[in-house]
Structure 1
Amino acid sequence: MISTLDWLVLLAYAGVVTTFGFLAGKKESTSEDYFLGGRKMPWLSVMVSIYATSLSALTFIGVPGAAFGGDFVYLQLAIGDLAGRILVSTLLLTAYYKSQVTTIYEFLGKRFGPRSRDAGTGFFILTRIVASGVRLAGCAIALSVVFEIPLNGAIVLIAVVALVYTALGGIKAVIWTDALQFFLLLGGAIVTLSVIWSAIPGGFNEFFQIGSEFEKFRIFHVSASPSHPEFFLNFNNPNALAAGLLFGCFTTFAVLGTDQDLVQRMLTCDHVKKGQKALLWTAALNFPITLLFLSVGAALFAYYKVVPDAAVDAFATAQHNDYIFPHFIKTVLTPGLRGLLIAALLAAAMSSLDSALNALSSTFYIDIYKRYIRPETDEKGAVTLSRYSVIIFAAILAFVAMQCGKTESVLWLGFKAFGYTYGAMIGVFLIAVLTNKRGNDIANVAIMVTSVLMVLFLTADSIGPLQEIRSTLLSPLGIEKISWKWSIIIGSIWTFGIGVIFSGKPLKS
């Protein structure tokens, strides 16, 4: 049960992040201050903030849950992730800094025209609402298990805390609180491993023995034989090597290069080289930290093999593996330590939710309100409006989270949420930076929409009367549909491949 000491730890955490938001917001007088921190943020704090946001509750809860129910195949994504970060750094960041934009969809407007900008804005807002709603649901699941409160109540609680300091402090509050929350997340995972290894009679050696016996440490599902289910290019197997590596690369490229949520962080540095440095150093963090959270899941599996628990067996049977880590925090950890891990759970939610709120607010103001509703808004009015829009988006994300809270795995649902749309985003941005006179404003919109339809046609579980047509088209591959991990790749190739056929205005120097 939650003790007085646990509550004190949680109150201290809530007090610190709220104070950060208040102090950061005292000097927010312009929209550039509020959205980009005046472009004067230190690259090291930006680097930590980028990584803290990409961690989120999906990592803290979902990755251990995935390892508990499976193995370390998720690490394939971390390998592809490195290539994605290098591509963003070399291809996109230089173009964004050169254009001096507040949102990256302004860049599409300068390159192609207003309709491409509108499409990018709309795709981002829709996808970010769904993906961040899933992230919020992930942490709320944990809190509902720990505190034995309704899931919807936990969602509202988290959303309220995040919107308070985000609305007060803007991007500065987001970056500085993310830095704090990053170390709290990391500490929580390390503490969990230490506790489990101490609790198992054989310590680390027994953990490793159990993990090896049940193949928990397996990373690669690969075969060179086309007839084998684990053929490296099996389009129907989401764990196939090619799917994992390419999905990791394309997903990272999309999230860190075409999503205002994370790109906004890099644009707060005063020079492109500092933004690139912040991004590339996150690559050095990603592999070991992903391995750390996978190890937590394997350690939980080993612990409950040694110390059976009926509740954990019920979670596993129902494939609710995301509930197991919160259950461990609640029932095994000691007072104080339990409060620290619950604070880490909150940090996992806040570090992604706060940035999403700020990015949605900035995109709404710059790309919609200022263009179509009231172009002459003064700077004071802009900051006020942005704070109100944070509140509105927090309510929307809470509603979406309530709809997503009962899924079997928040980790994979989160990836699926943007796999259908971000391929189109990647394709358009690649046309913008890799060509000079290719791409057409109106055509881009049509191609992005058809990209989503093509991805759904090839990867959706059911497409009604089109099912037979798809089966016929894919019969040479011996499959009836393509795995969802290929969705973002298909969308990228479709959008770029067709988009470059059309000519348009040259890229402005």
Structure 2
Amino acid sequence: MLGITLFGSSFYSKNKSSEAFTLGNNNLPAWVVGMSIFATFVSSISFIALPGNAFQSNWNAFVFSLSLPVASYMAVKFFVPLYRKINSPSAYTYLEYRFGPWARIYVSSCYLLTQIMRIGTILYLLALPVNLMFGWDITTVIIITGIAVMLYSLLGGIQGVIWTDAIQGIVLISGALFCLGYILFTIPGGPAQVFSIATQYNKFSLGSFSLSLSEPTFWVVLIYGIFINLQNYGIDQNYVQRYMASRTEQEAKRATFFGGMLYIPVSLLFFMIGTALFSYYTAMPEALPSTLQAADKSDQVFPYFIVNNLPPGFTGLLIAAIFAAGMSTISTGINSSATVVLIDYYQRFKKSKATDKQSLRVLYLTSLLVSILGIGIGIALIDVKSALDAWWKLASIFSGGMLGLFLLAAFVKQIHKLGAIAGVIAGILVILWLSLSPVLFADGPLQSLASPLHGYLTIVIGTIVIFLIGFLASVAAGKSQKKKVEV
């Protein structure tokens, strides 16, 4: 952590302008940007949760990764050229160009809320396994990690963030590869027994191929993955900023494709670790404490293995990998949030043109403020997790309208502003119903009003509603205007 903090902060001397802080003077190598995109995909949540998921059930969640080729193709074909043409550090300048200031403010404010919540959540979920493994105080881990990431994000700017992301990506891949190799060759029967036990218990299943929309079938997870990854590549500031930081459009395309495609084998690696752990503890059930054998404790099995089964030194490598996964996502969130505040609020609404010195001051202050808020939310999650879970869900509901609005802007040439507003309102209402109906209409006379669809389909249906209503309302508004002109 000390090494990463010092290395990331060393880019301070290269951040003498706001352009250097937000885009790295458009001079970052494609492989580094690609590794940064990959590291943004992987957080400490996935490092612990994916093996836990495979340990408990099967490879159904891996289908999410299989959706990446579709989203990566769309990014390379449409999104990267679009944003390079607009040439703005913010992902939301384009929405104002198409729909007016309301769209830019709506989407950027949703983005900022979800990023601050995400930073706090990852800090908390990073501290949790470390607390379980070593008994270290959760609050202390959150504060130290948050301050370390804040320092190099604030001092190093986007260059510090992207270069440290690349290093952290290499560390987390190395840690995961070693861990899988160690499990495969320490189980009594070797790799053959791992596959034999896993096959016996159907652990490699990708889920049901039925056409049911109320269960997480192969098709439901695949469609969900396509829409989530289109949202990431299409409207997420974290990704758009990396398109712009690349030297050329071709390098941006290569980096985008490489970063997305790299996540597929690495997520496969995480699922294989979970499956190998299942075989390991099935072959040697006495090695796993009875307290961790319950289904709701599956996320704790991998941390337990790291501490109790890996040789000294390699345990440290895996802890470093978990921290690397979390820190790379947090640093990206801090830098992108500061960029959004500068471009979409300060520079957009300041009456006189901001000087570069003023812009840098805003970037530094916003990075500091976002970091402090993230640390505060991480600490708050320890005691009031349920209340903040509800708040997080609400923020996700409103941010669910982001992708539909972007697709309207990108793929419908003649779009009316009122049509776009109508689409967003309709989409949010549908997303609210889909998200909250299991709670509001779980029992009683209104039970028939509950959504029959699986929760994964919320963003899918919400996006389709926004796109269709926005398009149809624009057509109607256009006809109405045409009639007035003819009269």
1:188–1:341 contact (8 Å) kept in structure 2? yes
The letter of the residue matching 2:367 is V
Instruction: Measure the CA separation in 2 of the matches of 1:406 and 1:348.
Output: 24
Partner in structure 1 of residue 483 of structure 2? none
Q: Does the 8 Å CA contact 1:457/1:463 hold for their aligned counterparts? A: no
| Equivalent pair of 1:24/1:172 in contact (CA under 8 Å) | yes
Equivalent position amino acid for 1:362 in 2:
T
Return the alpha-carbon distance in structure 2 between the equivalents of residues 484 and 236 of structure 1: 8
* 8 A contact 1:127–1:417 mirrored in 2: no
Q: What displacement does 1:383 show? A: 1.7
Provide the rounded CA distance (Å) in 2 between the counterparts of 1:313 and 1:254: 41
User: Which amino acid is 2:291 matched to?
Assistant: A
1:279 counterpart (228, 238, 256): 256
Q: Which residues in structure 2 correspond to 1:227-306 (within 5 Å)? A: 231-232=210-211, 234-237=212-215, 239-306=216-283
Deviation of 1:342 after TM superposition, in Å, equals 0.9
Does 1:398 find its partner at 2:369?
no
Q: CA deviation at 1:359?
A: 0.6
Q: CA deviation at 1:375?
A: 5.2
Shift of residue 107, structure 1, vs aligned partner: 1.2
Structure with the larger helix share: 2
Deviating more after overlay: 481-490 vs 152-161? 152-161
Contact 1:50–1:279, Cα closer than 8 Å, also in 2: yes
Counterpart-to-counterpart distance in 2, 1:464 and 1:397: 30
Pairwise CA distance, 1:266: 1.7
Corresponding position of 2:141: 154
Deviations 1:176-228 (A, max 9, x none): 00110111000111111121122211111111112112221111322xxxxxx
Query: 1:306 offset after TM fit, Å?
Result: 3.0
User: 1:45·1:179 contact (CA, 8 Å) conserved in 2?
Assistant: yes
Paired residue secondary structure (1:320)? helix
Q: TM-score, normalised by structure 2?
A: 0.90
Tell me if structure 2 keeps the 8 A contact 1:197–1:204. Answer: yes
CA–CA separation in structure 2 for the residues paired with 1:432 and 1:155: 39
> Given the alignment of the two structures, is residue 496 of structure 1 paired with residue 486 of structure 2, yes or no?
no
Mapped contact 2:37–2:259 kept (Cα < 8 A): yes
Give the unaligned 5+ runs of structure 1: 1-13, 223-230, 475-479
Q: What is the aligned partner in structure 2 of residue 485 from structure 1?
A: 456
Aligned ranges 1:301-450 → 2 under 5 Å: 301-308=278-285, 312-317=289-294, 319-372=296-349, 376-404=353-381, 420-440=397-417, 444-445=420-421, 447-450=423-426
Alignment of 1:21-40 (within 5 A): 21-40=8-27
Is this contact kept in 1: 2:26–2:246, CA < 8 A?
yes
Aligned-partner Cα distance in 1 for 2:253–2:445: 45
Question: Per the alignment, do residues 71 and 466 of structure 1 end up closer, same or farther by CA in structure 2, a change over 3 Å counting?
Answer: closer
State how many pairs are aligned.
474
Between the aligned partners of 2:144 and 2:297, the Cα distance in structure 1 is 22
Q: Secondary structure at the match of 2:472?
A: coil
- The CA deviation at 1:313 is 3.5
Over the aligned positions, Cα root-mean-square deviation in angstroms equals 2.8
Q: Given that residues 362 and 386 in structure 1 are in contact (C-alpha distance below 8 angstroms), is that contact kept between their aligned partners in structure 2?
A: yes
Q: CA deviation at 1:382?
A: 1.7
Tell me, yes or no, if the aligned pair for 1:369 and 1:375 is still in contact at 8 Å.
Answer: no
C-alpha displacement at 1:466, in angstroms? 9.5
Deviation at 1:488, TM superposition (A): 1.0
Alignment of 1:100-249 (within 5 A): 100-222=87-209, 231-232=210-211, 234-237=212-215, 239-249=216-226
Structure 2: segments with no counterpart, 5+ residues: 479-487
Query: 1:80 deviation in Å?
Result: 1.4
Listed one character per residue, the Cα deviations across residues 313-332 of structure 1 (whole Å, up to 9, x for unaligned) are 32342613222212211122
Query: Which of the numbers 413, 436, 456 marks the counterpart of 2:432?
Result: 456
The answer to whether the Cα contact below 8 Å between 1:142 and 1:345 also exists between their aligned partners in 2 is: no
Q: Is the Cα contact below 8 Å between 1:427 and 1:496 reproduced in 2?
A: yes
- Specify the SS of the correspondent of 2:285: coil
Q: What is the CA deviation profile of residues 77-125 of structure 1, one whole-angstrom value per residue up to 9, with x for unaligned ones?
A: 1111211121122222211111111101111112221111111111211
**Preserved CA contact (<8 Å) 1:28 1:34:** yes
**Per the alignment, in what secondary structure is the counterpart of residue 161 of structure 2?**
helix
Q: Please, which moves more after superposition, 108-117 or 149-158?
A: 149-158
Question: Partners in 1 of 2:188 and 2:12 — Cα distance?
Answer: 50
Q: Go from structure 1 to structure 2 and tell me whether the alpha carbon gap of 1:285 and 1:130 turns closer, same or farther (over 3 Å shift).
A: same
Aligned mates of 1:218, 1:48 — CA distance in 2: 29
- Between stretches 426-435 and 392-401, larger displacement belongs to 392-401
Moved more, 307-316 or 389-398: 307-316
Q: Scaled by the length of structure 1, what TM-score is found?
A: 0.86
> Match of 1:85, as an amino acid?
S
Equivalent residue letter for 1:107: Y
Q: Percent identity?
A: 28
